[in-house]
Structures are given as structure tokens and as C-alpha cells.
Amino acid sequence: MTLQIESLNILAMVVCVVTNMVIGALWYSPVLFGNAWLRLTGKKAEDISKEDANKSMMLGIIPSILITVFLALLVEFVGASTVLDALVVGSLVSIGFIGMSALNLVFFENRSFKLAVLNVGYSFASLNVAAVILTLWT
């Protein structure tokens, strides 16, 4: 297998970054799991200033870009070509890497298992959507 970096679709990657940010904004909003996230973190909505929220969203673009680049490289490397291929890649990365890292935090830092599941669920959703976009948009 060879990795053809020049064959990566930059426009698809930009769409994945935007999609990741939109999924995150919805996932952690009161529409979906925002209230549960607040309860599990011990925070209240009024504890989070608009400035802090905006700063976090802006900084969140950095890992979103890097995750998208690494996922695009992985999709390219394994030669994913179908939706099923994409879902396997997205699931393995989100559960196998992000999920197991989160589980380590549960074990070693006594973090909330429910919070870990909630956070990994976001990664699962966003990485699977991104993997499908990157796989099909060639």
C-alpha cells in the first residue's frame, strides 16, 4: 500500500471540518446532549460565558482540522471505497482509539463513564460522517 497525499480532496476535508463543528455544536447543545453534558461535568449553563464558549469553538477548529487530515490519510491508505468501508474506518478510529483513550481516563482519573460515553458518541458520529464524506467524495 502506498499513501498518495496529493490525491487527498481538500474541499471534502473542509466540508468534514465544518460538518464536525456543526455536529459538535448540536451534540453539546440543549437540543441533544448539552443538558446531560452540563450535569455530568457539574457545570451550569450560566457558568459558561459567551466569550469562553466562542474561544473554545475557535480553538476546537484546530483538532477538527488535524483529525480530518489524519482520517483522510487513513481512508486513503486503506483504500476505503464504499460506505461500509468508511463506517468501519470511522468506527475503528472512534471506538478503538478515542473510546479506549477515554476509558483509560475513566480508570486512571476516575472520570465519569457516562461522560466518556457521551463524548465518544460525538466522536463516533462525527468521524463516521467524515469518513463517509472522504470515502465517497473522490
| Interatomic CA distance for residues 115 and 106, integer angstroms | 9
Where does the pLDDT of residue 29 fall: very low under 50, low under 70, confident under 90, or very high at 90 and above?
A: very high
Q: Looking at the predicted structure, is the pLDDT value of residue 1 above 70?
A: no
Read off the pLDDT of residues 111-135 as tens digits, 9 standing for 90 and up: 999 999 999 999 999 999 999 999 9
Name the residue with higher pLDDT: 7 or 90: 90
The answer to whether the CB of 94 falls within 8 A of the CB of 124 is: yes
Question: Could you read off the pLDDT of 31-48 as tens digits, one per residue?
Answer: 999 999 999 999 988 888
**Tens digit of pLDDT for each residue in 85-104?**
999 999 999 999 999 999 99
Average pLDDT, the chain: 94
Q: Which amino acid is residue 30, in one-letter code?
A: P
| pTM for the full predicted model | 0.91
Domain boundaries, the chain: 67-138
Taking the chain, what is the end-to-end CA distance rounded to the nearest angstrom? Answer: 18
Nearest to 20 by CA among 130, 135, 131: 130
Average pLDDT, stretch 12-34? 96
